[in-house]
Amino acid sequence: MKKILKSLLVLSALFFLSPQAAMAESYRVNAGEKLVSGIVNVATGVIELPKTVIVTSRNENVLYGMSVGVVKGVMHTAGRTLIGALNVATFLFPTDPWIEPQYVWEDFGTETSYRYRETR
């Protein structure tokens, strides 16, 4: 009985010191980051509209920014909000960010782009 108990104790110690324990911590961090970024993107998606108008106006001209920039801004607003909702719904499956920049306020001078990447 003591041998079995010692064997189980050694096995459990090896399990907790294995790379799986480190990967579990990484998983929690990645899943948490995806959940937080999803919530933030749902809440701040509307900021895409003025951001896109400003970026388009700077890159082209004010008239172009106020017409095409508004349409692109509405599309980016919907995209960021929907991707945020998708990230919240699927946060248990950590992936790389599908939207660049990850948050609307990061790199405010560039237009938002979308991509698909493999799971982490």
Cβ count within 10 A of residue 40: 17
Q: Could you tell me the CA-to-CA distances from 90 to 38, 49, 86 in Å, in that order?
A: 9, 25, 6
By C-alpha distance, which of 119, 112, 108, 100 is closest to 26?
Answer: 119
Work out how many domains the chain is built from and give that number: 1
Query: Does residue 9 lie within any of the structural domains?
Result: no
Query: Does residue 22 lie within any of the structural domains?
Result: no
Q: Which band of pLDDT confidence, cut at 50, 70 and 90, is reported for residue 32?
A: confident
Which domain range does residue 87 map to? Answer: 44-120
Predicted TM-score (pTM) of this structure: 0.72
Each residue's pLDDT tens digit, 62-119: 999 999 999 999 999 999 999 999 999 998 888 888 899 989 998 888 889 988 765 5
Q: Which band of pLDDT confidence, cut at 50, 70 and 90, is reported for residue 3?
A: confident
Each residue's pLDDT tens digit, 6-24: 766 666 665 665 555 555 5
Query: Does residue 34 lie within any of the structural domains?
Result: no
